[in-house]
Structure 1
Amino acid sequence: MSFPWAREYQPANGLTKFLDEKLPLPRLVYNAVGAGYPVPRNLSYFWNFGVLAGFFLMVQIVTGVVLAMHYAANAQVAFFQVEHIMRDVNWGWLMRYAHMNGAHFFFIVVYFHIFRGLFYSSYKAPREMIWLLGVVIFLLMMATAFLGYVLPWGQMSFWGAKVITGLFGAIPLVGEPLQVWLVGGYAPDNAALNRFFSLHFLLPFVILGVVILHVWALHIPGSSNPTGVEVKKESDTLPFHPYYTAKDGFGLGVALILYLSLVFFVPNILGHADNYIEANPLATPAHILPEWYFFPFYAILRAFTVDFILSAKLWGVLAMFSSILVWFFLPWLDKSPVRSGHYRPLFRKFFWFGLIPCMVVLFICGGAPAEEPYVMLSQIATAYYFLHFLVFLPLISSIEKPEPLPYSITEAVLGTDDDAKLPASDAVKA
């Protein structure tokens, strides 16, 4: 984002001047997250979750690299190697619990980040590319998390891998050969574990690369804000540092308190007890479950129980992937000229009393046994989920009457804006 009132970087001493001439990293940081980056003055704490997501990504990379030094991707020893890390490696228990619970917190903050974007329509022009890259990041996160879930080689690891890789078998004609090619055999074993470990180690760095593109795309139009009104003048903005570095620092402190409480006091509360049993291909668990952050998509997968033209299994696979792919089309499905849900009364009702309860039901049904009434509830919630994005959202954007928007961000914050009283021609100049 380029504004005439943005502060220019001035090297403070000879060293920074030398760096600025030869390798301008200080200038890059200053313009990216310093006083040289003006942001809307009305950002709430919902805008903290992007920074928190970046922090937990770095936690995952650092702890993952340490764990990889002691892990062995071999089906005969992987389970015991994890126990070796926990019991014999110095601070190994801390690295594993930090990594395991870091994944949970990473998804928690990303889900908040996504739903904030959905409510404030952060996918609308001119920020479509920011949203599209964010969806790519989420897909990469899901792939990375699934691969990591397999590595401890417990009962849930093995059978989770068996179920998810088995989904490729639903593809007509090429399904079974594709499944064998991906797994390296007819069931998950050494070949699959080696492949999953390699990809699990690589993908976080791919995510980091896409995150850099995501932030780069953000700096072109600038940050959105709770009103959805674009920045018009200097009084609408504040320098990112020190105002929002302090605000993000407070949010990070709260998140760290919760995260470290989980790591040190209840590190296994979000995991599954069966994953502390060594993988046994001859003993199927009573209830095969993915991690909790996959529950909504797992519920959508299981919602299809009747063969119709295609098999129910294939319909479930298509619906599961489509439930995320539909997000790519939101910038064009939602045609309302108003961004913020605060000024869209009909959209607000469908969001809080339609989409949010629908997601809660899918979360519950995804973690419940595949029996009634959960199957029926997941079918209803799945139907509503797709109706919301493909039917209701375009319809709402064409018929709803938005509430009056503030003239500027300054007016939204202070309740008045002197420029709003000027003639239109003078206000534009101001």
Structure 2
Amino acid sequence: MSFPWAKEYTPANDFTKWVDEKLPLPRLVYNAVGAGYPVPRNLSYFWNFGVLAGFCLVMQIVTGVILAMHYAPNALVAFSSTEHIMRDVNWGWMLRYAHANGASFFFLVLYIHIFRGFYYSSYKAPREMIWLLGVVIFLLVMATAFMGYVLPWGQMSFWGAKVITGLFGAIPLIGEPLQVWLVGGFAPDNAALNRFFSLHFLLPFVTLGVVILHVWALHIPGSSNPTGIEVKQESDTIPFHPYYTAKDGFGLGVFLIIYCAFVFFIPNLLGHADNYIEANPLATPAHIVPEWYFYPFYAILRAFTFDFVLSAKLWGVLAMFSSILLWFLLPWLDRSPVRSGHYRPMFRKFFWFGLVPCMVVLFICGGAPAEEPYVMLSQIATAYYFIHFLVIIPVVSSIEKPEPLPYSITEAVLGSDDSAKLGDTTPAASA
């Protein structure tokens, strides 16, 4: 978004002027994350999670590239090469724990980032493309994470791969040939492991490309904000640097403290003990579960337990993929002219007392055994999940009466008093 009051980049000397003429990279950085990029002045710490997600992606790429130098994508030695990294490679244990826990923290950051978008309706015009690219990023990260989980070739890796790839067999007519083509055989083995390793290495760079498009799309309309009001005047914004670089730096510091505590003190808390047992196609684990960040979608997959026209397995596959794909429709399902949940009383109640508890139930049921009462709870939560997005949001957006909005971001921050203006140092303003 073009702000007439944005500061222009001025080269400091002849060398930087020459660089700016030949390759205007400093100007690009200055306009993207520097003083040349005005940002709404009322962004809360929930807006830190976009930067944290970018940091997690870079951290995963760096640690992943180094780990790939020591990993052998062969079913006969994959498990041994993983143990070799842990025991023999200098700092290999730290790199692997950083990569494994980094995936969990990456998803934690993404979930908070997405739910912030749900609450503040970040998917609404003029930011639809930002949201659509964000959903694409989430799908790419999910695919990358699944393929990475297979690589240690432990018991849970092997059987998780067998269960997930087996889902394609539920597709009528072409399901089984498609499954064999994807896996390279009738069960996950050397061919599947090589393919998963190749894609796991490639997809993060594809994701990075989409992230660049995501950030580019963000800079066209500018950042959203907790009020949902567009920028109207210069006092509504402050430069990204130094104000939000400092704020993001503080958030990154807190994130790293928690992340390092997991890496160095409780690195296996978020993993599964069975994955320290080498894959054995003849010994099925008592309870096959994916990583915790897949729990809600795994619960939706298992919620269908009976055939109705189509098989229960196919219904589960369709529902699991649809639960994410319907996010693409949100810009058109939510027709309310007000963005922020702060000013939408009905929407706010359904969000905090409907969607959030629903997701908590799905997380719990996804990691629980496929038995009662978890099956029934997952069925109820799955039904509500789809009703929330496909019925409740369109209906609420049409009938609710929003609360009055402030005139501007400045008014929301400083109040509506005429003396409460940026830079006003009179006694009335400071009283």
With normalisation by structure 1, the TM-score equals 0.97
User: Contact between 1:408 and 1:417, CA under 8 Å: does it hold in 2?
Assistant: no
Partner of 2:350: 350
Map residues 192-271 of structure 1 onto 2, 5 A cutoff. 192-271=192-271
Equivalent in the alignment of 2:389 = 389
1:191-247 deviations in Å (ceiling 9; x for gaps)? 000000000000000000000000000000000000000000100000000000000
Residues 108-158 of structure 1, C-alpha deviations (whole Å, 9 max, x = no match): 000000000000000000000000000000000000000000000000000
Residue 72 of structure 2 corresponds to which residue in structure 1? 72
The alignment status of 1:305 with 2:297, answered yes or no, reads no
Matches within 5 A, 1:352-367: 352-367=352-367
Q: Which digits, 9 at most, give the CA deviation of each residue in 1:145-188, with x for residues without a partner?
A: 00000000000000000000000000000000000000000000
> Counterpart in 1 of 2:285?
285
Structure 1 residue 15 displacement after superposition: 2.0
Amino acid in the other structure paired with 1:366: G
Task: Determine helix, strand or coil for the equivalent of 1:238.
Answer: strand
| Aligned pairs (5 A) from 1:15-414 | 15-414=15-414
Structure 1 distance, partners of 2:14, 2:290, is: 55
* One-letter code aligned to 2:225: N
Alpha-carbon contact 1:304-1:316 (below 8 Å) kept: yes
Give the match's secondary structure for 2:209: helix
1:8-50 Cα offsets, whole Å, 9 max, x none, are 0011122211110100000000000000000000000000000
CA gap 1:384/1:173 in 2 versus in 1, 3 angstroms: same
What SS is found at the alignment partner of 1:350? Answer: helix
The secondary structure found in structure 1 opposite 2:162 is: helix
For the residue of structure 2 that corresponds to 1:39, the secondary structure is strand
Q: Percent identity?
A: 87
Cα distance in 2, alignment partners of residues 79 and 270 from structure 1: 19
Distance in structure 1 (CA, Å) of the matches to 2:66 and 2:398: 53
In the alignment, is the contact (CA less than 8 A) between 2:414 and 2:420 conserved in 1?
no
AA paired with 1:384?
Y
2:245 aligns to what SS in structure 1? helix
Segments of 5+ residues of structure 2 without an aligned counterpart are 422-431
Contact 1:335–1:394 under 8 Å retained in 2: yes
2:7 corresponding residue in structure 1:
7
Task: State the one-letter code of the partner of 2:172.
Answer: P
Amino acid of the residue matched to residue 78 of structure 2?
A
1:415 offset after TM fit, Å?
A: 0.6
Q: CA deviation at 1:294?
A: 0.2
CA–CA distance in structure 2, aligned partners of residues 7 and 181 of structure 1: 55
- C-alpha separation between the residues in 2 aligned to 1:89 and 1:20? 43
TM-superposition CA deviations, 1:55-80 (whole Å, max 9, x none): 00000000000000000000000000
Q: Provide the residue aligned with 2:426 in structure 1.
A: none
1:30 to 1:307, Cα distance in 2 relative to 1, 3 A: same
Looking at structure 2, the residues matched to 111 and 91 of structure 1 have their Cα atoms a distance apart, in angstroms, of: 30
Aligned residues: CA RMSD? 1.1
Distance in structure 1 (CA, Å) of the matches to 2:106 and 2:416: 39
Unaligned runs of 5+ in 1: 422-430
Question: Which digits, 9 at most, give the CA deviation of each residue in 1:276-313, with x for residues without a partner?
Answer: 00000000000000000000000000000010000000
**Structure 1 moving runs of 4+ over 3 Å:** 417-421
Q: Distance in 2 between matches of 1:152 and 1:398?
A: 50
Give the aligned residue type for 2:3.
Answer: F
Corresponding residue SS for 2:35? coil
Q: Counterparts of 1:417 and 1:234 in 2: how far apart (Å)?
A: 18
CA positional deviation for 1:420? 12
TM-score of the two chains, using structure 2 as the length reference: 0.97
Q: Give the structure 2 partner of residue 427 of structure 1.
A: none
Alignment check: 8 A CA contact 2:8 2:36 kept = yes
Partner Cα distance (2:203, 2:351) in 1? 33
Whether the 8 Å CA contact 1:301–1:319 is kept in 2: the answer is: yes
In structure 2, distance between residues paired with 1:390 and 1:351: 14
Code of the residue aligned with 1:121 in structure 2: it is: S
Cα separation, 1, equivalents of 2:188 and 2:82: 18
**What SS does the aligned partner of 1:304 have?**
coil
Equivalent residue pairs, number: 421
Which residue identity is paired with 2:227?
A: T
Equivalent pair of 1:298/1:320 in contact (CA under 8 Å): yes
Q: In 1, Cα distance between the equivalents of 2:368 and 2:417?
A: 53
One-letter amino acid matched to 1:221: P
1:63 aligned partner, one-letter code: T
| Cα distance in structure 1, aligned partners of 2:157 and 2:296 | 19
> For the Cα contact (< 8 Å) 1:154–1:274, is it kept in 2?
yes
Checking the alignment, whether the CA contact within 8 Å between 2:154 and 2:274 is kept in structure 1 is: yes
Query: Comparing 88-97 with 9-18, which one deviates more in the overlay?
Result: 9-18
